[in-house]
Chain A
Amino acid sequence: MPQTPKIALDNVSMAFGDNVVVEEVSLEVKEQELLCIVGTSGGGKTTLLRAMAGLIPPYRGRILLDGEEITRPSSSVAMIFQHFGLFPWKTVRANAEYGLSVRGRRDEHGIVDRLLEVMHLTENSEHYPYQLSGGMQQRVGLARALAVEPTVLLMDEPFSAVDALTRESLQTELLSLLERERGVTAILVTHDIDEAILLGDRIAVLYGRPGRLALELEVPIERPRSPQEIRFHSEYAQLRKQVWEALQGEQREEYV
């Protein structure tokens, strides 16, 4: 019997009113896989992710989580936002505990403490977001998401609002976190090809307006990976070229 995919998109279209932004995308994400969805800005990839989070319904088609249709946010899904989405009036600790407090759960196993430590936030736990750098704010976002022990992690351009150096260290941390937190299936939306190759088990490229699935490919680079070394891997250049060309398809269509 074939394994039920953790998440399945079945001919999903997304639209704002009559303006279709994503057209007939079908995708499957296996348990514990990390899928990167790459697309240019305005290609509907964030919209697609919000639908997977149960925030908005698909225009057509179905999205399944563990074989069941997603109609509203699920307690086994957590999301990371490009804008971090921290509450300015909550301290780092209170922000990290937010998901647990919403669910009326006590932090019995000290999971928040552990995550704050892993994220190097222990010393800042009583600080407010405005006192933190962007990179640290996103670490709080990560801690908040992982604190609810999700089985699915949805990440919307999580590192695009921080500087390049911080981005590399956050990517490294995410890699080691996901290796540690086995059992998490993750979908990351990005416009950064290098990020997709570094992080993804698989890459799906959306292109066009409305966005369609242009390419799906495995990333055959063994883990652990690191941002510094992966560029020298023999497969790297070829992968990058493939994704790049899939993304270029859009521009050819528009400008030729």
Chain B
Amino acid sequence: MKTEGLGRKATWALRALSVLTILIAWELYGRSSNPLLFTYPTAIADAAVDMVADGTLVRALGQSLSVLAMGFAIGTGAGIALGMLAGRSAVAAALLELPVNALYATPMVALIPVLVLWFGFGVTAKVVVVTLFVVFPVLINTMRGVREVDQRLVEVARTFRSSERKLWLDLVLPSSLPFIVTGIRLAIGRGLIGIIVAEFYTAFSGLGYLIVDNANTFKTARVFVPIVVLMALGVTLTALLEWAEGRIAPWRKATR
């Protein structure tokens, strides 16, 4: 996307300006308010240094990331596989459509008590929660991508007598890649929600535990540290995805 009428430098200057303004305003207001109820950026920074030094942040981040990674891997893997199947086979699509749409529309949080009954409070339950948050946007977007394959190119492949396997490699996969990436981009946001919700509602662990524990003891600055980490995680993962897409799909530069 192009920002109209603004150079690169000006755009970045304005971005920095907006962040700085927010931080300064927050700092000024935060310092004048009750530290039990509110906090400010420098206090959060101090708390972050403490929490890195005593190891709590790193340990919590490790726990959250490992659950996130597992849930994300299973969720995107299953989402892509099922999405491709549903995109290519009318039977699979008909079978999957209603359950998928129903589950996608269901607030996943509502299922957590049941998931705890089935999977306990441990890592398994958390991974299942993240998987459920991740799988649907990936599945639905993949399915759409496969369906929107350019039929004219399918015809080209047929004139060259392509096998079904080659057709997937040459055509279906690359052409649905942008859709899959969109699905994964949505899944990143949902996965982060999933991990925190899971850590709130199953056995306390990870960044979710840090938030709840510090909030209960009114260490407000310490509550914000994992929140900022989550924010950074979301931004980083999305940037990473875009970078990866640029590497895997250089032809897409044309459409950006």
A residues at B contact (CB < 8 Å): 50, 53-55, 72-75, 77-79, 81, 83, 85, 87-90, 98-99, 101-103, 128-131, 148
CB distance from A211 to the nearest CB of B (A): 21
Please tell me if B156 contacts chain A, counting CB pairs below 8 Å.
Answer: yes
Residues of A near B170 (CB, < 8 A) are 87, 90, 98, 102
Q: Quick one: which of B153, B174, B251 contacts A85, CB cutoff 8 A? A: B153
Q: What class of interface size applies to chain B in its complex with A?
A: 20 to 34
Residues of A near B177 (CB, < 8 A) are 89
Please tell me if B249 contacts chain A, counting CB pairs below 8 Å.
Answer: yes
Contact in complex: A73, B158 (CB < 8 Å): yes
Q: A83-B152, A102-B166 given as contacts; is B251 within 8 A of A89 (CB)?
A: yes
The SS class assigned to the B binding surface is helix
A58 to B254, CA, bound (A): 39
Residues of B near A90 (CB, < 8 A) are 170
* 13 more CB-based (< 8 A) A-B contacts, given A73-B158, A77-B159: A50-B155, A72-B161, A79-B159, A83-B152, A87-B171, A88-B251, A89-B175, A89-B249, A101-B166, A102-B157, A103-B160, A103-B161, A128-B254
Residues of A near B153 (CB, < 8 A) are 85, 87
Residues of B near A83 (CB, < 8 A) are 152
Please tell me if B7 contacts chain A, counting CB pairs below 8 Å.
Answer: no
The 10 nearest A-B residue pairs measured at CB = A130-B254, A85-B156, A89-B174, A79-B159, A128-B251, A89-B251, A102-B160, A102-B162, A99-B160, A88-B251
* 15 examples of A-B residue contacts, CB within 8 angstroms: A53-B159, A55-B155, A72-B161, A73-B158, A73-B159, A73-B160, A75-B161, A79-B156, A85-B156, A87-B153, A102-B160, A102-B163, A129-B251, A130-B251, A130-B254
Q: A53-B159, A75-B161, A128-B251 given as contacts; is B152 within 8 A of A87 (CB)?
A: no
CB distance from B239 to the nearest CB of A (A): 23
Please tell me if B250 contacts chain A, counting CB pairs below 8 Å.
Answer: yes
